[in-house]
Amino acid sequence: NGVGIPEALQQKIFEPFFSTKPKGKGTGMGLAMVYGALKNLGGFIQLDSQVNKGTTFSLFLPVRTMQINESAETQNTVNLQGNENILVVDDEEMVRNFCKLALEKYGYQITLAQNGQEALDIFRSSGQNFDLIILDMIMPVLDGIKAYKKIRETNKTLRFLISSGYSDSDKMSQLKKDPLVDVIYKPYRANDLVQMVRKVLDSAKKNELN
């Protein structure tokens, strides 16, 4: 339903920050994040729109079959346990709470922040007492890239796990140049998050020993 999308705009609607809404009414990241998430999962999105008739978005995902090895799964659960301090930064409350529940289940100590500025304030007041920061990119007040740069200025060895729904951006390219930055693409499952966190923290410990 709806008014449809003019053909001239159909090539732009998946670009980050592009929006037809009035200023302040939208971020222009919704469809870009959907496009990025599908691409990372090996899928794609198809648009069919006619002016004055309506628009249909079709999402396609590959089918994957998995075999469950219960003994291996039990062993992996043990290996995922930890007690490190982690700061989770995301403007979406649902995402923050999801990360908190997923990680606390395995013993991690979780602190939450809803934007980059709050994360920066918490980081400074805590005496930089974090082993890892899970950081969203698109946030109000202070975005992820600016928060990262300010924190990196005072701590050269802290690990970051960037939580993003869009992979093809100049900001992401900048961050990937830092060997202490890893990326997990939204949407992700709880187990994917925990495995990535453990991998990043274990990598940090190995580097300390070397």
How would you label 29-66 residue by residue, b for 16+ Cβ within 10 Å and e otherwise?
bebbbbbbbbbbeeeeeeeebeeeeebeeeeeeeeeee
pLDDT at residue number 81: 93
Average confidence (pLDDT) per 10 residues, the chain, 210 residues = 77 69 60 74 80 84 67 59 96 92 96 96 90 93 93 94 77 85 89 94 76
Q: Look at residue 108 and tell me if it is in a domain.
A: yes
Q: Are residues 152 and 183 in the same domain?
A: yes
What is the token pair recorded at 125?
A: 């007041």
Task: Please give the model's pTM, rounded to 2 decimal places.
Answer: 0.69
Q: What is the pLDDT of residue 187?
A: 81
Domain region containing 97: 81-209
CATH, residue 92? 3.40.50.2300
pLDDT recorded at residue 112: 97
**116 and 42: one domain?**
no
* Residue (of 108, 95, 83, 89) closest to 161 by Cα position: 89
Q: Identify the pLDDT of residue 24.
A: 55
In a domain, 182, yes or no: yes
Whether residue 72 lies inside any domain: the answer is: no
- Residue 76 in any domain: the answer is no
| Domain total of the chain | 2
Do the domain assignments include residue 166? yes
Identify the CATH number of the domain in which residue 22 sits: 3.30.565.10
Same domain (yes/no): 194, 122: yes
Q: Is residue 71 part of a domain?
A: no
Whether residues 86 and 183 share a domain: the answer is yes
Task: Please check whether residues 184 and 141 belong to one and the same domain.
Answer: yes
Take residue 166 and report the two structure tokens written for it. Answer: 């869009």
Residue 123 belongs to some domain of the structure: yes
Alpha-carbon span 130 to 21, nearest angstrom:
39
Tell me if 91 sits within 8 A of 142, measured CB to CB: no
- CA separation (Å) from 162 to 6, 25, 83, 178, 205? 35, 26, 20, 12, 19
CB 119 within 8 A of CB 146: no
CA 97, distance to chain mean position in Å, is 14
**Which residue type is seen at 155?**
N
